[in-house]
Structure 1
Amino acid sequence: MQSCYLAVDIGASSGRHIVGTVQDGRMKLQEVYRFENRLQERNGHLCWDIDGLAQQVVEGLKAAHDQGFAPVTVGIDTWAVDFVLLDGQGNRLGDAVAYRDKRTADQRRKLEPVVPFAELYRRTGIQYQPFNTIYQLCALKDEHPEQLQAAEHFLMIPDYLNYCLCGVMANEYTNASTTALVGAESKTWDDALIEKLGLPRKIFGAIRTPGTVLGHLREEVSRYVGFDCQVVLPATHDTGSAFLAVPARDDKAVYLSSGTWSLLGVENLTPITGPESEAANFTNEGGYEYRYRYLKNIMGLWMIQSVRRELGEQTGTRPSFPELIAAAEGAHDFAGIVSTGDQRFLAPASMIEEVKAACADAGQTVPATVGEVMQTIYNSLSRDYRKAIDELQTLTGKRYTSINIVGGGSQDMYLNQMTANAAGLPVFAGPTEGTALGNLMVQFIAAGIYPDLQSARDAIKNSFEIKEVLPQ
């Protein structure tokens, strides 16, 4: 059996188990398991199949063992903001409702007299998004107050999956920071804010930082998968892990984690929570070693993934991403453009029809082909990347000289070229498995393989191909 470290990286559309090893200072990755993640309609809400996800995590550990690997540690990262509640016996209360559900639509208006958003932003530094955890909890309080009354524990999605693996409940910092309930400066739960909202303080546990060892696998899990290992906290928010894997050449680099969401920003040592930052809707999410990920959320590849899924449902066969890229290239002169931040694209019944409708509403030529729909999405993403960089430069007072893209979207060289052209900056694309790699980097550092983050980042440049794209 080969000793290794294991990253479980779960996104909004799929999850993967990736084994990591270090040989002669160079990192090597190998995917050993992959599974789909889909939203389900339950009790009138869009929900995650949280029991299914927990089982898939275990199945992936077994698959690693069956392929000859012996993980020393395992770490889990997922998306942010979503959560579950548990009672005093550790039983889950209610469904794992997903952020794309509409239950939070009116919560900002309701909360404004209680906690004006300007105050909320100043305290927590978290941008407005209708699905922020604070709004989800308030929506739950309206609909199912009995669940909050019975709750003893609040766990975000990766926290809960860790609990399923090792039996330890812990709130991890990078994910907790996205709730808009953690003080930007204090880096812990904002008790005064929680009290104002009428939420039970007892459910929010002590916040742990990446690198914390939670414990060993539950006995029944260990017996099933064929080995035992320690569960270690990475940056459990996938963007927090992805930002760790950016091999930036200097401090003038913009980071772009490109996946279902596009997260564009930089690392700061202090939060920026003034009114200009609030107006621009930038967020200050907690990062590894208390760095702040100062970034903007952009809709990202969700729009392309939705088009692909929709075409597959229509024809019975999903087109490949290269086929969709080729279709866009064939319509490269089409000038359609939409705002990717428009909430209409969050969970439409048809992404294709929604893009067409948005163009029509704006008085533009309506896309008539798949290629024109795709080109509209590419035009819009690259335009919004450029706008976010312009805002970033104004807010930080810095000039940035490159864009470093990690994640699955870094493979899309057509989008990379359009991004370089729109921003007028060189793009450095890779590594592709940025999130899983960042997850593993924390495990490597915790194990003493690398002494610190900088040495781990330096190793990335020698371990993976980074492609340079110059503006044309």
Structure 2
Amino acid sequence: MKSVLCLDLGASSGRAVIATYDNNNNLNLQEVHRFPTKTLLENEKTYWDFSYILKEIKFGIKKALEIDENIQSIGIDTWGCDYGWLDRDGNLLRNPRSYRTPMEEKILQEVHEKISMEDHYEICGNGHFSFNSIYQLYYDINYENILENGAQEFLFMPNLIFYHLTGKKIWEYTIASTSGLLNAQERNWSKTIFQKLNLPWKIKGELTYPNSTNYSLTEEIKKELNLNKNIEVVCVPGHDSACAILSTKLNEETGYLINGTWSLLGIETDRAITNSLGIKKGLVNEGSARNKIRFMSMIVGTWLLQSLRNHWREQGENIDFEDFPILGKRSSLEEYIEITEEFLNCKNMESLIKNKYFEKYNQEINSKEDILKITYNSLGNKYKESLELIKSLSNKNINNIVLLGGGNQDSFLIETIEKYLECPISLGPIEASVTGNALMQLKK
């Protein structure tokens, strides 16, 4: 029976998962290793500890093969936008900077003095989030003189891992589509964007599309892992959300809502939708593995709930996620606050929510029950606004939403979504990214 290994890395943790079909054609997933995706703080900037992450990945591969020697291939997916620089010898020049490093507003202003937000959005269809690759690259080249310091090419995170396992450089389409550097209609690099920003064309290679390229582990890696057989690394969708929607069937009237650190609510379309209204509302066009475009809203999602839980536990409160539905239901509040990018990097989520509520309603909230209820309400309202705008701009009648990801374990979040979206909800896989990663490999 064919087995494959899925390396699924999120911004908080990574894991190695063995996937197989059983005799009844059911997909079985076995997590064999999990590790934190560690960061390092250098000069007030946050970097991914890549040598640690790679060490844990190799340990995960070794452990998986000890459990199942029939593993035939490996697929890698990660979060979007971040990348690493290689020097002329193909060595990693420094740790990849994390999207959690705040980007100065002047960088965004400079970029859009060279290409307006409207023109940029019409070409690439990406939202203008400060962590997007386009701003990071512009900063590296113009403020850190990365090219003068030896940088030759950049690789997105899943492609950087792919390179260290196979020795082959690829620039996979779905992960590249998060960068702000593609022409969304042509589904390739935008010469206009590169020229406007004076970004050297040579810092990247041709795009590779999912399921088109496989390479074996290098002899060095095989020796390190004590392997005596070839294992292919498959070019699955590099972006975890592109993997996630492969875990479910979508039609013209079905949308999806992936609930993780980010909430991604959207649809698959044949063409990018770059109406200027999308700029103001954070709507993005990203690549899909099904020869389509994912048109969706990016919302700071269950990160709010994760941050509240972490804050309260640091304060000595024995509160965990399973307590949230119980607490949230005790509050009768129906108000909500606006969720913005500001919530992504705040140091005290409880304080920020309380302050935003006071600013809007001139009333204080203090109980955990009320704070949680406002958080859930705010997510629900954001989902509602996003769905209405997506339906309007796409001219599609979305009659059903499939819920994917870890948020499916939160019964109160599901109730909130049903309440605000007012349409049928169905539950897809909790392990959506791993499932999509596995299905792409198993169908080869």
Which residue of 1 is the match for residue 126 of structure 2? 126
List aligned pairs for 1:66-465, cutoff 5 A: 66-147=66-147, 150-227=150-227, 228-248=230-250, 250-315=251-316, 319-331=319-331, 333-340=332-339, 342-445=340-443, 447=444
| Partner secondary structure for residue 84 of structure 1 | strand
Q: Does the CA contact (< 8 Å) of 2:83 and 2:157 recur in 1?
A: yes
Q: Does the CA contact (< 8 Å) of 2:252 and 2:396 recur in 1?
A: no
| Partner secondary structure for residue 32 of structure 2 | strand
Distance 1:258 1:291 in 2: 21
| Bigger shift: residues 167-176 or 46-55 | 46-55
Which residue of 2 is the match for residue 455 of structure 1? none
| Partner secondary structure for residue 103 of structure 1 | coil
Q: Does the CA contact (< 8 Å) of 1:47 and 1:97 recur in 2?
A: yes
Q: What is the CA-CA distance between 1:336 and the residue it aligns to? A: 4.4
Distance 2:365 2:147 in 1: 46
Distance 2:305 2:313 in 1: 12
Q: Does the CA contact (< 8 Å) of 1:14 and 1:34 recur in 2?
A: yes
| Bigger shift: residues 120-129 or 138-147 | 138-147
C-alpha change, 1:11 and 1:311, in structure 2 (3 Å) is same
Q: What stretches of structure 1 move > 6 A for 4+ residues in a row?
A: none
Q: Does the CA contact (< 8 Å) of 2:2 and 2:442 recur in 1?
A: no
Q: What is the CA-CA distance between 1:153 and the residue it aligns to? A: 1.4
* CA distances 1:350-377 after superposition (whole Å, capped 9, x unpaired): 1111111111222343331222222111
Distance 1:35 1:364 in 2: 43
* CA distances 1:363-394 after superposition (whole Å, capped 9, x unpaired): 34333122222211111111111111111111
TM normalised by structure 1 equals 0.89
Q: Does the CA contact (< 8 Å) of 1:241 and 1:438 recur in 2?
A: yes
Partner amino acid for 1:388? S
Aligned-residue Cα RMSD (Å) equals 1.8
C-alpha change, 1:318 and 1:104, in structure 2 (3 Å) is farther
Distance 2:288 2:408 in 1: 22
C-alpha change, 1:148 and 1:401, in structure 2 (3 Å) is farther
Q: What is the CA-CA distance between 1:148 and the residue it aligns to? A: 6.0
Distance 2:148 2:301 in 1: 33
Residue 15 in structure 1 maps to residue 14 in structure 2 = yes
Partner amino acid for 1:133? S
Partner amino acid for 1:81? C
Distance 2:275 2:283 in 1: 10
Q: What is the CA-CA distance between 1:277 and the residue it aligns to? A: 3.3
C-alpha change, 1:68 and 1:282, in structure 2 (3 Å) is same
Distance 1:327 1:38 in 2: 31
Distance 1:428 1:389 in 2: 16
Q: Does the CA contact (< 8 Å) of 1:6 and 1:73 recur in 2?
A: yes
| Partner secondary structure for residue 102 of structure 1 | coil
Partner amino acid for 1:246? T
| Bigger shift: residues 88-97 or 391-400 | 88-97
Partner amino acid for 1:285? E
TM normalised by structure 2 equals 0.95
Q: Does the CA contact (< 8 Å) of 1:104 and 1:131 recur in 2?
A: no
Distance 2:104 2:325 in 1: 34
Q: What is the CA-CA distance between 1:330 and the residue it aligns to? A: 2.5
Q: Does the CA contact (< 8 Å) of 1:213 and 1:230 recur in 2?
A: no
Q: What is the CA-CA distance between 1:97 and the residue it aligns to? A: 1.2
Which residue of 2 is the match for residue 469 of structure 1? none
Q: Does the CA contact (< 8 Å) of 1:83 and 1:155 recur in 2?
A: yes
Distance 1:217 1:377 in 2: 45
Q: Does the CA contact (< 8 Å) of 1:282 and 1:294 recur in 2?
A: yes
Q: How many residues align?
A: 441
Partner amino acid for 2:257? L
Gaps of 5+ in 1: 448-472
| Partner secondary structure for residue 295 of structure 2 | strand
| Partner secondary structure for residue 310 of structure 1 | helix
Gaps of 5+ in 2: none
| Bigger shift: residues 32-41 or 370-379 | 32-41
Q: What is the CA-CA distance between 1:415 and the residue it aligns to? A: 0.6
